[in-house]
Structure 1
């Protein structure tokens, strides 16, 4: 089994996804888009993970590789590959599927609850009715055509979606570990301007081990769902 991930900045890696994939027997490779835009043969990978980053999907003039990345993502989805997008990654999936990505009415940075949008369709992933997760975003997306709405929050209506049976986009972060939280805070603390949905550095970094464990376990559930063989 072979998982490949697209990385946009050095300080946003796989987090808890990496040990989960290794335990499941996956070979892991990556494309470091801040170095080169070389993409793998889709026939040779079993899972594509698209990570976050501080840029916008609309910054194609500043980051020309966004054009080829979105083309690759579109090809992966149309080829039936399981695809997971996280934060910017979810926005890239939406953009690749011709959905609008734009500034959210509020930035969300820190630990805030999401609300799962329940579905009776067994082919749709169900999030918990309410769960506190980690956020760091200023933009949002319209749902791609035909996508199922999976989660929302008080600060952002479209928090997660699913396309078909094996593509999920998450506006929030379930892969975050204490080390990952420190990395993003240390590189992006200038964004921690007091606001309704922006926590302080101290609030962000004081999350308990149990909170990280709960989101990392849910991340594992999402991965298991995407890689299921009966879908």
Structure 2
């Protein structure tokens, strides 16, 4: 794999790239982090080898101009057959771009809980992973997408499109410091979650070592043709 320019779209200070940045640096890639919600700037498709769209306290259904502009960039990336990884809001952006509905989930899902693998199309993924959930919306599965994961609360926890676009409703990218940052800045969000965990419970949970390996495996999978 040749060195890539990895462009990351970060929407809120407390939800950073975590393991994605480590993966990129381990493979000699260059990382550029954009903050479209704050500065209104996005990369072009020509200067992007891999696009990462992170989470945030917004919805693809919101009317901020940068949200639609972000989806247009994603549309251009898919038309150019370039890889995209979306986490939480990023996964919802992928689904909405493809014409699927994004709407409130039956229950708010915030905290650590398992997801189950539904396909072996990506090799080397365990049957179950314990991951961080931080959302109260969900997406329908777009036509032509492969459903990757499910949880007890949400049927569509991950999708794969065209072999090089992955969206995960959960946060596989978080490292220990990312979780601490989320909790100290947005810990009140855990209230009302069906998972019944406190902010301290979330902060104290030991992140499974396999999560980093799976995050790397997914990114390797979608970028293998670059």
Report TM bin, short chain: over 0.9
Question: Structure 1-normalised TM-score?
Answer: 0.91
Show structure 1 runs of 5+ residues with no match.
Answer: none
Match of 1:130 among 122, 128, 131: 128
1:125/1:150 contact within 8 Å kept: no
From the superposition, tell whether residues 194 and 99 of structure 1 become closer, same or farther in structure 2 (CA, over 3 Å). closer
Residue 218 of structure 1 corresponds to which residue in structure 2? 214
Residue 109 of structure 1 corresponds to which residue in structure 2? 110
2:111/2:190 contact within 8 Å kept: no
What is the distance in 1 between the residues matched to 2:13 and 2:192?
26
What is the distance in 2 between the residues matched to 1:170 and 1:194?
22
Match of 2:224 among 188, 210, 228: 228
For residues 36-93 of structure 1, the C-alpha deviation after alignment (integer angstroms, 9 at most, x for no partner) is 2222231232100000001111111xx2211111111111112111000000100011
What number of residue pairs does the alignment pair up?
223
Matches within 5 A, 1:77-226: 77-119=78-120, 121=121, 124=122, 127-208=125-206, 211-226=207-222
What is the distance in 1 between the residues matched to 2:124 and 2:26?
24
Matches within 5 A, 1:4-43: 4-43=7-46
1:117/1:126 contact within 8 Å kept: no
The 4+ residue runs of structure 1 with deviation greater than 6 A are none
From the superposition, tell whether residues 39 and 195 of structure 1 become closer, same or farther in structure 2 (CA, over 3 Å). closer
Alignment root-mean-square deviation, CA: 1.6
What is the distance in 1 between the residues matched to 2:124 and 2:143?
19
SS of 1:175's equivalent in the other structure is coil
Question: Structure 2-normalised TM-score?
Answer: 0.93
2:88/2:170 contact within 8 Å kept: yes
Show structure 2 runs of 5+ residues with no match.
Answer: none
